[in-house]
Structure 1
């Protein structure tokens, strides 16, 4: 049964989680020790183990959930209403704006490249996120076509795969180079593929 935290406790746990997630995005799992997390977040070891009793493994699973939720929430509210060319362009702009805001440290890559390798529970969280995201984009392409827009010959499920690959691929190159152009062009390719460019 999940513990109920006070408002202060929930805020402390979130502070540790956000700090640890940022460290992981910057350093990878190998570069994130419990000591560094405590130092960076201004927490004690006893606090860390209070909120994450199983230590590193539990913390990494919590980071995976946190980052997985962010991948979907970062695309809201656009991802729920991609039924027009204008809404698809707004989604593209929102994705670009989010990467401008967070910089070169991508939550998707942190999940896929780093956290999915820390154990079966974290891997399951990553797979679930990919599945949820794919389902949402499949539904989005279906809504666009049902509204009479987009390319009628494009299979929604296949288009969703293109979206995920474009965002993740463009974000990976951006993360490696600091150059937005590949992410922007990948998203432009998505808009052309679904027929709203």
Structure 2
């Protein structure tokens, strides 16, 4: 059994990794208990509604990181290239250079999709809108900025799935390196 974790944040971080490794549906209470070092009763103490509360806590934690480290730089004033570079760096950190599975994929299918799909869609739209704002600041029309922002989100999440499936982060690293050009290339 894993060493018992001392804070709720540590437990949620561990749960996030378990969901990335096993998927939401595949993460049994036994696996979650083993990974956190907490017995089932302790897990239910932290998360009274069981795995649904655990998944919600993971999404809140991920959303906090995204808001502070990805959305905030995109929404700042200043050079669009520098803003997208800060976003790309945070994206790379959050996904461990492409080694960590895509949380969107984990929480968009099966039981998790039913529980969290709408919330996940809303958060993806916030990201798309923030990326589109940077592209508009870079000189693109609103329609082109929106299209490119959607393409960037599709490329990133697809690259995570491919990198995870091939057990090779090269695709993810390439997409992250190409982000400024994909979003802003050819802008006025």
Count residues with an aligned counterpart.
Answer: 180
Normalized against structure 1, the TM-score is what? 0.73
CA distance change for structure 1 residues 19 and 98 in 2, over 3 Å: closer, same or farther?
A: closer
Q: Once superposed, what is the RMSD of the aligned Cα atoms?
A: 2.9
Aligned to 1:175: 164
From the superposition, tell whether residues 74 and 144 of structure 1 become closer, same or farther in structure 2 (CA, over 3 Å): same
Contact kept, 8 Å, 2:152 with 2:179, in 1: the verdict is: yes
- Which residue of structure 1 lines up, in the alignment, with residue 135 of structure 2? 141
| Cα drift, residue 83 of structure 1 | 3.3
CA contact (8 A) 1:28 1:114 kept: no
Deviations 1:128-177 (A, max 9, x none): 211111111111112222xxxxx569621112111111111111111111
Deviation sequence 1:92-141 (CA, Å, 0-9, x none) = 45534544456232333323346742x33x12221121111111111111
In the alignment, what sits opposite 2:3? none
Q: Distance in 2 between matches of 1:90 and 1:66?
A: 20
Q: Check if 1:88 corresponds to 2:84.
A: yes
The CA distance in 1 between the partners of 2:120 and 2:145, in whole Å, is: 22
How far has the Cα of 1:43 moved from its partner?
1.3
TM-score normalised by structure 2 residue count: 0.76
Gaps of 5+ in 2: 1-5
Gaps of 5+ in 1: 1-10, 146-150
Distance 1:78 1:196, change over 3 A: farther
Q: Which residue is 1:103 aligned to?
A: 99
What is the aligned partner in structure 2 of residue 5 from structure 1?
A: none
| Larger Rg belongs to | 1
